[in-house]
Amino acid sequence: MVCEKCQKKLGSVITPDTWKDGARNTTESGGRKINENKLLTSKKNRFNPYTTRFVECRICRTKVHQAGSNFCQGCAYKKGICAMCGKKILDTKSYCQSSA
């Protein structure tokens, strides 16, 4: 659960855009080169455990893999808060939630 303000902070997906108009991954726009080795060219996008670490959830202390998040998805849903900033999104007062 992410609020509308944090929606633009989310990273882009790896899958290609469905339409060529406005796509960033076509050869015409300069996004993708033909026969390029993705392993060598995408070093900035990969996770390096020696330089960066996963953030822990502020509630349950599990590792959070979403970039920029402070809470895991389970805790964010149970509390009704944004996973990135912690802002209250929905009222979970009348919800019947279990911890399992």
Q: The tokens of 55 are what?
A: 């953030």
Q: Which of 77, 43, 41, 35 is nearest to 59 (CA)?
A: 77
Tokens 């979970």 identify what position?
A: 92
Q: What is the pLDDT of residues 48-58, one digit of tens each?
A: 777 778 899 99
Lowest-confidence region among 8-12, 63-67, 77-81, 84-88: 8-12
Range 89-97 average pLDDT: 87
Q: Which two tokens stand for residue 49?
A: 């455990």
**Long-range contacts made by residues 67-70, C-beta under 8 angstroms, separation at least 24?**
67/10, 67/11, 68/6, 68/9, 68/10
What's the pLDDT tens digit per position in 14-68? 666 566 666 666 666 566 667 777 777 666 666 677 777 889 999 999 999 887 8
Round to whole Å and give the CA distance between 64 and 1: 13
Q: What is the pTM of this model?
A: 0.60
Q: Map out the domains of the chain as residue ranges.
A: 51-90
